[in-house]
Copies of this chain bind each other. A is one copy, B any other.
Amino acid sequence: MLNTNNKALSYLPRLCICLLFAFHGMAQSPTENLSKLGIVLPKPTSPIANYVKYVQSGNLVFLSGHGPSKADGTYIIGKLGTDLTVAQGAEAAKLTGINLLATLQSAVGDLNKVKRIVKVLGFVNGNNDFADQPKVMNGFSDLMVAVFGEKGKHARSAIGTNSLPNNMAVEIEMVVELF
C-alpha cells in the first residue's frame, strides 16, 4: 500500500525547497523588515482633543487619520502641484505610514498580530489640476508591502483635497485586521 505513494513522496524534498524559496520573503517578521529598511518607529503622539488614535472593534482596528509629522513635531506641509513634487508627496505618504505603524504597534503590542492591512483611505493636499494622487499614495503602499509582504496589500482609495489640517501634505487612515 505504502509503495503506491513512493513516487509522489520522492518529490517532497524538492517541493519543500521550492516552498522555502517562495516564502523566504514572507518569513521575515514585520519588525525585522522595518529594521532591514532602517526604519525606527517613533513614539506615538497623543491627539489633543476628544478623540483617540485608534479604536479596536472585534478583530478590526480602525486608525484615525494620520499625517506626515516628523520627530520634531513639525509636518511636511504644502500642496501637490504647487509646493511639492510627486516624489516629495510620496515621501510624505511614507512618513505618514511610519506614523500609522507606530500607532498600530502601540495598539496591538506586536506587529506579528497583523493579519491584513484591509482598507486605506488617503487624502492628498493639492491644487485643482493635480491628478497624480495614486503616485503619491504609492509611497505609503510600497512601505506596507515592504513591511508585511502579501498581508500588506490593501484595498485603497486615493483622493484629492484642497486643504488639510495644518496644511499638511497628506492624511491617511486605515482599517487593519488582527489574527
Binding site for B on A (CB under 8 A): 47, 49-55, 57-60, 62-65, 79, 116, 118-121, 123, 125-134, 137-138, 141-142, 144-145, 152-167, 171, 173, 175, 177
Determine if B62 and A131 form an interchain contact, defined as CB atoms under 8 angstroms apart: no
Residues of B with C-beta under 8 A to A167: 129, 131
CB distance B158 to A161 under 8 Å? no
Say whether A50 contacts B164, CB under 8 Å: no
Q: Is the CB of B65 within 8 A of A166?
A: no
Task: Using A49-B134, A57-B118 as known contacts, list a sample of 19 further A-B pairs with CB atoms less than 8 Å apart, ordered by residue number in A.
Answer: A49-B138, A50-B144, A50-B153, A54-B155, A55-B119, A55-B154, A62-B118, A123-B157, A127-B163, A128-B162, A128-B163, A131-B163, A131-B166, A157-B171, A158-B165, A159-B164, A160-B162, A160-B163, A161-B162
Number of this chain's copies in the assembly equals 3
User: A51: which B residues are within 8 A, CB to CB?
Assistant: 120, 141, 153-156
One of B64, B125, B154, B159 near A156 (C-beta < 8 A): B64
**Minimum Cβ distance to chain B for residue A141 (Å):** 4
In the assembly, what is the distance between CA of A26 and CA of B125, in Å?
39
Contact across chains for B165 and A116 when beta carbons are under 8 A apart: no
